Amino acid sequence: MKSVFNKMTIQHIQIEERTQLAEVEVQFIQGKILIETVLMLGPTDLNQLLAKLNAKGLSLSLTEDFEYYPTEEGMLYTLNFEKKGWDNVVINEFTPLQRIKQIRA
């Protein structure tokens, strides 16, 4: 069964160049409970999430919107949605294609 995230907002995205994984800090409503968690997304699901943001009017650029730092294992890209004022953008029905790893906070 695939996970569906409704009324989801993003607080932070971190992308590691070496692993091609993104850690996405989110909040969403499950039933009547607000859940805060970190989703581990692969490239396909990250692109799907970015497309949903684009549909909401947020066109993100890796070099312009993200802060980036060189590490021994490649670049590390971070984007703080709260700092940009984008933490109130609500995404409805985000359904990752791959089974996601979820770290509960």
Residue 3: Cβ within 10 Å count:
11
Greater confidence (69 vs 100) lies with: 69
CB 66 within 8 A of CB 84: no
**DSSP assignment letter at 5:** B
Q: Tell me: pLDDT of 104 over 60.
A: no
Total domains, the chain? 1
CB 91 within 8 A of CB 77: no
Q: What pLDDT sits at residue 85?
A: 93
Q: What pLDDT sits at residue 2?
A: 67
**Per-residue pLDDT tens digits for 12-69:** 999 998 888 899 999 998 888 898 999 999 999 999 999 999 999 999 998 899 999 9
Domain assignment present for residue 75? The answer is yes
What's the domain range around 20? Answer: 9-104
Domain assignment present for residue 4? The answer is no
The predicted model gives 70-78 an average pLDDT of 92
| Run of H or E including 52 | helix 43-55
pTM of the model: 0.88
Domain assignment present for residue 81? The answer is yes
Domain assignment present for residue 45? The answer is yes
Domain assignment present for residue 19? The answer is yes
Domain assignment present for residue 50? The answer is yes
CB 40 within 8 A of CB 101: yes
**3-state SS class at 87:** coil
